Structure formats: structure tokens, C-alpha cells
A and B are shown apart, each in its own frame.
Chain A
């Protein structure tokens, strides 16, 4: 348990550096440090499926972000806005107060709130015949969620290709 808390403190420090620094490339590298720390946290919580997925997605998004930083010019905004900063600090304090009240209501670490998950663990291998229980839940019991994830991935890829293409159709009535 102490390893996870040390890693969480490291991730919070890296996220604060990513916000505070003025170098865009440094901010991207700090975001990568947050994601790789999260992969180790998943590994310590005994979920290697999520650890593999988080590691791979983090590397891919880091490559895409570094490529995107190289294209755009460096925008550096240095303004001091006292009213907006104070309002956001007050709102953040209110959020922390209510969040600390809500944490007391959450069931303890390691006790699942849903009683249905015991049923999956007990009958999952017999009903589906799949040794990997995560794959059994994702593709058999919860396959409508998988359909929605496929729709999201398809729409994101098509949307990026349509928006970022070079040839943009101007209205032809002007010429």
C-alpha cells in the first residue's frame, strides 16, 4: 500500500510541473511520466490487463503529442489575472471540502459495491469457456459496451482524417 501512495505523490508532482512549466516539450514529457506511473500503479493493484493497455496507449499518445508540438508555433501566455485566479481557488477549496465528505461514504478499499461481480467470478469460466475473465466480461457479458467503444474509435479516426486533410472545399460560387 505504501508503494502506491509514493507513486501517487510522484504523479501529482509531475502533473503540477506539466501545468507550471513554460516549455511545451517539457510539459509533454511530464504528462508521459504521469501515465507511466499510472501503469505501475495498475500493476501493483494486480491488474496486468490494464497495465499493458495503459503502457501502450501512453507511448502512442506521447509520440502523437510530440509530433503535434513540433508543428505548432510556441504560444506562451504570461498574464496575471487576480480575480479569475482567486475565484478558481475558492471553487477548488469548496470541491475539496465536499470531496472529503464524500470519501467517507465510499466502501472500503477492496470491497466491491456490486454483488454481481461475485457471480461473474464464480460462473464466468463455466458459462463462456474463456480462461481470461476480463476478456469474458468485456466480450460476452458487456458486449454492448464494446460496440459503443468501437463506434467511438471509428468516429474519432474518421473525424481526425476529415478535419486535418489539406484539401478543403471552398464554396465554388465565388469563382
Chain B
């Protein structure tokens, strides 16, 4: 729950946002975790998670949003997601090839129990890495529009940079 809404949009928008943001975040988590079982997948799930944070920024202003996630954490998550995807690929070299599914046993067709949540090797981990990059990347793009002021110019010379 978000308390003491000081600035931002009107009371109706704030009240509805307070109840629906958690549901939107949970829906994105559902897409990410079940990306190999149902429709949706990593890109759509990551963008829905980013939209829930943007929703807080639009309704309550950027000060409330920065109590939940900081700018430094967003910049860390962009690099962490891309690096962990590359690391999963490099670990595949131990079984023979780049981006190889290294949970696979030779001679066995299915990996784990099909239609269950923890199955099919490295694909849930890949979904997690991709969605981390996409979610924090789109948050950073929106944050660049809100926090930074474009065309600020130099104070001494007065010319635009």
C-alpha cells in the first residue's frame, strides 16, 4: 500500500492505482515464470513489470517511485540481465557448444517432467535473464525522460549543448 499521496494526479487515479499496481506486477511475474508453458513469454512479461513501475511514476510522482526502486538499482539490473544470459551461454561450453542446454542427458528426449513448472533445462533461467534486461531497460528509458532535463544548456556560455 502506498501512503500519504502528496502530489500527482487526482484522488480517483490514486485510489485505483493503489489497488491495481500489485495485480499488474503479479500478472507480469506470472508471464515470466510460465513463459515456457503458456502464451506470453519473456518480452511481454518484462514490459508488463516495467509498466507497473511506470504506473506508479505517472500517478504519484517520481519521489514515491524512487522509494521502491532506485536509479542505481535499475542501472545495475540492465547489466546483470545481459551478463547472466551470456553466462548461461558460456556454461554450455562444458557440455560441448555455446548456448547448449546443459541439463540435457544424452539419449533422453524430454528434460524433466513436461508441462511442469521446473522443466526444460535452462529455458526458465533464460526467461528470467531476458525479462530482467527488458524491464529495467524500459524503466531506464522512461526515467531518462522524467528525471533528466533535455537541452539544459551550459550556464556560463548560455549556448545549448
- Listed in ascending order, the chain A residues whose CB lies under 8 Å from chain B are 48-49, 52-53, 56-57, 59-60, 63-64, 67-68, 71, 125-132, 134-136, 138-140, 143-144, 146-147, 150-151, 153-154, 156-158, 160-161, 164-166, 168, 170
Beyond known contacts A140-B123, A157-B141, A165-B148: 20 more, CB 8 A cutoff? A53-B44, A56-B44, A63-B142, A64-B141, A67-B146, A128-B120, A129-B109, A132-B39, A140-B101, A143-B99, A147-B85, A151-B82, A153-B134, A154-B81, A161-B140, A164-B144, A164-B148, A164-B150, A166-B149, A166-B152
A37–B78 alpha-carbon span in the complex (Å) = 31
Nearest chain B residue, comparing its CB with the CB of A71: B150
Q: Main secondary structure on chain A at its contact with chain B?
A: helix
8 closest A-B pairs by beta carbon, nearest first, are: A157-B137, A129-B110, A164-B144, A154-B82, A143-B99, A48-B39, A166-B148, A56-B47
Residues in A with CB closer than 8 Å to B61 are none
Q: Which of B65-105 contact A (CB under 8 A)?
A: 75, 78-79, 81-82, 85-86, 89, 99, 101
| A57 near B137: Cβ-Cβ < 8 Å | no
> What's the nearest-Cβ distance from chain A to residue B2, in Å?
20
Q: Is B161 an interface residue (CB 8 A)?
A: yes
Q: A60-B138, A140-B101 are in contact. Are A131 and B114 (CB under 8 A)?
A: yes
| A135 near B148: Cβ-Cβ < 8 Å | no
The 7 listed contacts between A and B (C-beta, < 8 Å) are A52-B40, A129-B120, A130-B123, A132-B39, A136-B36, A146-B126, A157-B78
Nearest chain B residue, comparing its CB with the CB of A138: B41
| B41 near A135: Cβ-Cβ < 8 Å | yes
Q: How many A-B residue pairs have CB under 8 A?
A: 139
Residues in A with CB closer than 8 Å to B44 are 49, 52-53, 56
A151–B86 alpha-carbon span in the complex (Å) = 10
Q: Main secondary structure on chain B at its contact with chain A?
A: helix
Q: Which of B19-57 contact A (CB under 8 A)?
A: 35-41, 43-44, 47-48, 50-51, 54
> What's the nearest-Cβ distance from chain A to residue B135, in Å?
10
> What's the nearest-Cβ distance from chain A to residue B123, in Å?
5
